Amino acid sequence: MKAIIAPSVLSADFANLQRDVQMLNESEADWIHVDIMDGMFVPNLSFGLPVTEAIARHASKPLDVHLMIEKPDRYIEAFRAAGASIISVHQEACVHLHRVIQQIKDTGCQAGVALNPSTPVTVLEDIIADIDLVCLMSVNPGFGGQKFIENTYKKVRQLKEIITDSGSKALIEIDGGVNAQNAPLLRQAGADVLVAGNFVFKSQDPIRTIHELKNV
């Protein structure tokens, strides 16, 4: 099976968002990755509900919403209403992760959990059967265009083992610094979903770059 490709609109041209979303519609992208930052959980601000809603209005593909915010339970229903199909929350931001996962599922969205580079994948052992997606951060969340952290390969392999042993159907998503060099290695290690921001949007021909990632 081919990888699921989820370009991150964080690296799109915000003044031409409709054009860039249209480009993704016409490409081999499977999902559209939407990065929400609150300036608290991460040191940066991105955008919020109205922009997500505007993206959803033009997108013909599912929105994969990555909440890099504190207490994300406050905004689950709102992001569902704004058009999210998949919602990921950070394990580090949820004291009651199990409850938040159920809250996401109750809206009808697929539920994802994101892990910072310093968080071991073993924290998910007791929740893995309940989740649809694990988003492994391969950079420290907060900014596009950062360098891929090599330790991620080991985490993908460990997580794959946890998923297989538990019989969970969770997909493994990699987020941060993904490019044509590390994509094949990530796939070999067990990654199912590749997020790419800069590598897609700063390339000469984004449609071709997405094709390249899709066929690694």
The answer to whether 64 contacts Zn ion (rule: CB under 5 A) is no
Q: Which candidate, 104, 1, 107, 10, places its Cα nearest to that of 51?
A: 10
Residue number, 92 or 106, with CB nearest to Zn ion: 92
Q: Examine residue 66 and tell whether it contacts Zn ion (CB under 5 A).
A: yes
Strand partners, 113: 89, 134
Q: Is 175 a catalytic residue?
A: yes
Dist. CA 33–CA 160, nearest whole Å: 22
> Which member of 20, 30, 35, 38 binds Zn ion (CB under 5 A)?
35
Minimum distance between the CB of residue 175 and ligand DX5, rounded to whole angstroms?
Answer: 5
Asked if 20 is an active-site residue, the reply is no
Residue with tokens 């938040």: 100
Residue 142 touches which member of Zn ion, ligand DX5, none, C-beta under 5-8 Å by kind: ligand DX5
Binding mask 96-135 for Zn ion (x = CB under 5 A): ----------------------------------------
Provide, rounded to whole angstroms, the least separation between the CB of residue 33 and ligand DX5.
6
- Note whether 216 and 184 are within 8 A (CB): yes
Which of 4, 29, 84, 196 binds ligand DX5 (CB under 6 A)? It is 196
Residue 34 CB partners (closer than 8 Å, separation 6+)? 8, 9, 52, 55, 63, 64, 65, 66, 84
Residue in 20, 30, 35, 192 annotated catalytic: 35
Restricted to residues 63-92, the positions that interact with ligand DX5 (CB under 6 A) are: 66
Between 41 and 111, name the residue whose CB sits nearer to ligand DX5. 41
Options 30, 64, 132, 175, the catalytic residue: 175
What does the block give as tokens for 80? 């569902």
The secondary structure of the chain in percent helix, strand, coil, rounded to multiples of 5, reads 40, 20, 35
The dihedrals phi and psi of 172, each to the nearest 5 degrees, come to: -105, 120
Tell me: does residue 190 bind ligand DX5 (CB under 6 A): no
Measure the CA angle with vertex 68, ends 71 and 89; round to 5°: 65
Q: Which residues participate in catalysis according to the annotation?
A: 35, 175
Q: Which residues make up the interface to ligand DX5 (CB under 6 A)?
A: 8, 10-11, 33, 35, 66, 139, 141-146, 175-178, 195-199
